[in-house]
Amino acid sequence: MYCSRSKYLFSFDQSFLRIFGLQIALGIVCFAISKFVATPGNYVVALPFIGLSIWYSFIELDKRLDLKGLIINFKNKKGTK
């Protein structure tokens, strides 16, 4: 990372690293659950982590893109046709 920052003036900001780290951690937890928990129970145990990942992704996308507004506009356009 130091080489890319000094040589090419490229770096990631803190918010990206936080989001990326959390999503990777949730993915690793879900993978570990699917690997080490018995088959019928692993889906039930992993479901809260998947839900947490979806919820966190939605919150972060809404901060950056106004995702709620985009969904409302899409519904309004679809309803007027």
- Whether pLDDT at 81 is above 70: no
Assigned domain for 3 exists: no
Per-residue pLDDT, 11:
77
Is residue 7 domain-resident?
no
In a domain, 62, yes or no: yes
SS3 content of the chain, % helix, strand, coil (to 5): 90, 0, 10
Q: Is residue 48 part of a domain?
A: yes
Q: Is the pTM of this model over 0.75?
A: no
Q: Looking at 4-13, 22-31, 67-76, which range is the least confident one?
A: 4-13
Decide if 52 contacts 26 (C-beta within 8 A): yes
Does residue 1 sit within a domain?
no
3-state secondary structure of 50: helix
Tokens found for residue 68 = 């709620």
- What is the total count of domains within the chain? 1
Q: What percent of the chain has pLDDT over 90?
A: 10
Does residue 62 register a pLDDT over 70? yes
Question: CB of 8 within 8 A of CB of 27?
Answer: no
Q: Residue 10 above 90 pLDDT?
A: no
